[in-house]
Structure 1
Amino acid sequence: MMHKSIKISFLLILTGVLTLTSCGTSRDFTSEEFQDLEAILQDRYFKIEAEFARPFVTNALAQIGNSSLFAPGDNASQINITGDSNYLKFEGDTVSADLPYFGERQMGGGYSDDDGIVFIGQPKDLETIKAKDENKYIIRFDIQKETESFQIRLTFYPNHKATIHVTSSHRNQISYRGNLEDVELSEK
């Protein structure tokens, strides 16, 4: 009887701790953090190193997830891609990306060797939005690789977290979460 009450007490305490830590308030960032972010983005020499891919979950992707083909900890809606060189990089007026793609292709891709979201070039319709009341910056642009067009939306936060949202003319949408890195002068 006592053993059972200890288990119940432990579970209640564990649930309480997890609830308190997961429901933390979104903190307001300092003006220094926001200015640091602003300086990195205005310089236009930065890199987002992606850690997680978040594909658009379709029935086919859900079936793959249900058949246990994902690595432990991954599922149809979030895949850990840490450790690989998965990035989107701004270098002045040139943008390059090499990101894995998980999802469905809607149109034929030709005979390219690139299975992922891979491009390099000058962005079209580049727009930067400062949403200080929401503690973030948004950069939008379009870019083309051969016959495929990409609409890219980047969201940056002062803690150097970033998201990449990709809408393609040939594939289902996908987003990535990762970290913003300032490209060092030696890399410029």
Structure 2
Amino acid sequence: MRPKELRGLRTAFIFIVSFTLIAIMVACGGTSSTGQVHNYDELQNLISSRDFQIENDWANPSGGGNINLIGNPNFIRFSGDSVEVYLPYFGVRHAGAGYGREGGIKYKGPAEDFNISENAEKKNIEVDFEGKQGGENLEFHIKLFANGSSFTSVNTSQRSTISYQGTVSRVEEE
């Protein structure tokens, strides 16, 4: 190869490597958040504060495939003894919702029968609570892991069970 061609290849190589490194740094920086959980101690402190939220990336209807929720609003927010829930629902409804009613799972109010149980050996925490949406009884079972991931199962008196996978974090100030 000629010296000019080598300089051109070297410049192209440096450009590609630099671009790749910048892309990796931006991608990693984009997922970093001050509210994220990184270990079991952080998870314990966050849950004991009762000021945390869960945002789900996946819905898992019973009898169906996984549904990607990224970009779709959904949350479970705890603030003291209260909780606010907005989760999209995909599945079979056993009792009518009534015309014009929203099909998602919504609840805002006290977290009834609230219970926290820790498994220090497996480094996870389970949170259970109940609520009512109209005439529908809602039971929530949430499993939180030391890496910040979460698994939520929702049983209701009028619908098939559905579960969600997401992440737990501090409630972000608006």
TM-score (norm 2): 0.75
Task: Report the Cα distance in structure 2 between the residues aligned to 1:146 and 1:138, rounded to whole angstroms.
Answer: 26
Considering fraction of residues, name the structure with more strand. 2
Q: Which residue of 1 aligns with 2:101?
A: 113
Match of 2:170 among 147, 171, 182: 182
Q: Write out per-residue CA displacement over residues 61-103 of structure 1, whole angstroms, 9 at most, x where no aligned residue.
A: xxxxxxxxxxxxxxx3211011111111111111111111010
Offset of residue 171 of structure 1: 0.1
Q: Which residue of 2 aligns with 1:54?
A: 60
Task: Report the Cα distance in structure 2 between the residues aligned to 1:111 and 1:128, rounded to whole angstroms.
Answer: 37
Task: Report the Cα distance in structure 1 between the residues aligned to 2:129 and 2:110, rounded to whole angstroms.
Answer: 10
- Gaps (5+ residues) in structure 2? 1-37
Match of 2:75 among 60, 70, 87: 87
What root-mean-square deviation, in Å, do the aligned CA atoms of Structure 1 and Structure 2 show?
Answer: 1.4
Offset of residue 149 of structure 1: 0.6
Instruction: Tell me the amino acid that sits aligned with residue 118 of structure 1.
Output: K
Instruction: Tell me the amino acid that sits aligned with residue 105 of structure 2.
Output: I
Task: Report the Cα distance in structure 1 between the residues aligned to 2:128 and 2:52, rounded to whole angstroms.
Answer: 15
Q: Per the alignment, in what secondary structure is the counterpart of residue 133 of structure 1?
A: coil
1:126 paired with 2:132, answer no
Instruction: Tell me the amino acid that sits aligned with residue 47 of structure 2.
Output: L
Q: Per the alignment, in what secondary structure is the counterpart of residue 103 of structure 2?
A: coil
Offset of residue 51 of structure 1: 0.3
- Count of equivalent residues: 137
Between the aligned residues of both structures, percent identity stands at 30
Stretches (4+) displaced over 2 A: 110-113
TM-score (norm 1): 0.69
- Gaps (5+ residues) in structure 1? 1-31, 58-75
Match of 1:38 among 44, 53, 68: 44
Task: Report the Cα distance in structure 2 between the residues aligned to 1:154 and 1:126, rounded to whole angstroms.
Answer: 11
Larger radius of gyration: 2
Task: Report the Cα distance in structure 2 between the residues aligned to 1:44 and 1:160, rounded to whole angstroms.
Answer: 15
